[in-house]
Structure 1
Amino acid sequence: METIQSMFKHLHWANQRILATLQKSEENKKGNQLFSHILHAENVWLTRLNGTDSSHLSIWDEGNLETCVELVDQNNQNYTTFLSHLNNVKLDQIVSYKNSKGTEFQNTMRDILTHVALHGQYHRGQINQLLRMADSEPIDVDYITYRRIRD
């Protein structure tokens, strides 16, 4: 449980750093869209973890940074609350959900939470690559950097 909580603190820290970097960089539509996707996917997965249908929720949009500002804080609050009610036993409970195509899957909460943390990191790497290609400075969002700052 401690590792999952640390991963989500890192996720929020990394999201804040990417957001700040995108806000001060020249407009990067693809980078903004990828960041928006991270945040919308976080919301979709939390909806599924809560046992609610997520089929009406979009995971891709135009990448409006104003919306991203709201989602960064909203997702952090929602995951913090969700994680505060979990324990190791609950982490191993099976969650049934349908993907955006209506296909049903089952995974443990632990696997879903791990996926959410890793999914965002994958796309933040893509955003950093786009920033570098646009002659902007990428931002370090590595987990070990986060731990060095926090410890």
Structure 2
Amino acid sequence: MKPHALQLYDYHVWANQRIFEYLKELPQDIYRKEIQSVFSSISEVLVHIYIADTIWLNVMSGISFDKAELRVQLREKTKGKSIEEMETMYFNLSEQFAEFFDRQGNLDQATFYEHPHFGRLETNFFELVQHVVNHGTYHRGNITAMLRQLGYPGVMTDYVVYLYAMNTKK
């Protein structure tokens, strides 16, 4: 059985993939359609999740939060990307996370980070993985609300749905 942190991250990847698969079934303009919501478009939500996930992978890998230019670089890297291109970027990022997990080994290992606004945090990698997953779950909920606002049902990405899906693969 996988360590819980890795299973949670697998859920995050699975849920993101379900969002991409569903969005590709909808009319193409839905991805970038401007609406009054938490984000201006569904594409902006996916860019936000991607940027946040990338920053957290960098932080866990020992790169400082103070790398403000990283956010600008990531914003530029994602600018104008199609849904298929973003899906590929998400896949590549999940591969980078997998490599990090393989190198790290013990995700319960104590570590600390210095955040420019919040100060020092003593934690472990598992808790940071939990944060990445929770952040993604929150924003996938934004996507569901935005889809409903645009007249489309959402796609189920609840953790229990993931557990059922994984159970049926056995």
Q: Which residue of 2 aligns with 1:55?
A: 68
2:120 aligned counterpart, secondary structure: strand
- 2-side partners of 1:107 and 1:34: how far apart? 29
**Does structure 2 conserve the Cα–Cα contact (< 8 Å) formed by 1:95 and 1:106?**
yes
Task: Choose the corresponding residue for 2:43, options 32, 54, 67.
Answer: 32
Sequence identity percentage:
22
Q: Which residue of 2 aligns with 1:12?
A: 13
Unaligned runs of 5+ in 2: 33-40
2:121 aligned counterpart, secondary structure: strand
Q: From the superposition, tell whether residues 62 and 22 of structure 1 become closer, same or farther in structure 2 (CA, over 3 Å).
A: farther
CA deviation vs aligned residue, 1:76-134 (integer Å, no higher than 9, x gap): 1011111123344x523223143xxx334324222211100110000001101111111
Q: Which residue of 2 aligns with 1:83?
A: 101
**Does structure 2 conserve the Cα–Cα contact (< 8 Å) formed by 1:33 and 1:62?**
no
Q: Normalization by structure 1: what TM-score?
A: 0.84
**Does structure 2 conserve the Cα–Cα contact (< 8 Å) formed by 1:51 and 1:97?**
no
Q: From the superposition, tell whether residues 118 and 66 of structure 1 become closer, same or farther in structure 2 (CA, over 3 Å).
A: same
Q: What is the letter of the counterpart of residue 114 of structure 1?
A: Q
Q: Normalization by structure 2: what TM-score?
A: 0.76
Task: Choose the corresponding residue for 2:88, options 49, 57, 70.
Answer: 70
Task: Choose the corresponding residue for 1:110, options 89, 110, 126.
Answer: 126
Asked if 1:125 is matched to 2:149, the reply is no
Per the TM alignment, residue 2 of structure 1 is displaced from its structure 2 partner at its CA by 1.0
**Does structure 2 conserve the Cα–Cα contact (< 8 Å) formed by 1:45 and 1:116?**
yes
Q: Which residue of 1 aligns with 2:153?
A: 137
Unaligned runs of 5+ in 1: none
- 2-side partners of 1:36 and 1:67: how far apart? 11
- 2-side partners of 1:11 and 1:68: how far apart? 15
The answer to which of 61-70 and 73-82 deviates more is 61-70
1:106 aligned counterpart, secondary structure: strand
- 1-side partners of 2:103 and 2:161: how far apart? 28
Q: CA RMSD in A?
A: 2.2
Q: From the superposition, tell whether residues 77 and 24 of structure 1 become closer, same or farther in structure 2 (CA, over 3 Å).
A: same
Q: From the superposition, tell whether residues 125 and 81 of structure 1 become closer, same or farther in structure 2 (CA, over 3 Å).
A: same
**Does structure 2 conserve the Cα–Cα contact (< 8 Å) formed by 1:19 and 1:69?**
yes
- 1-side partners of 2:13 and 2:122: how far apart? 23
Per the TM alignment, residue 40 of structure 1 is displaced from its structure 2 partner at its CA by 1.3
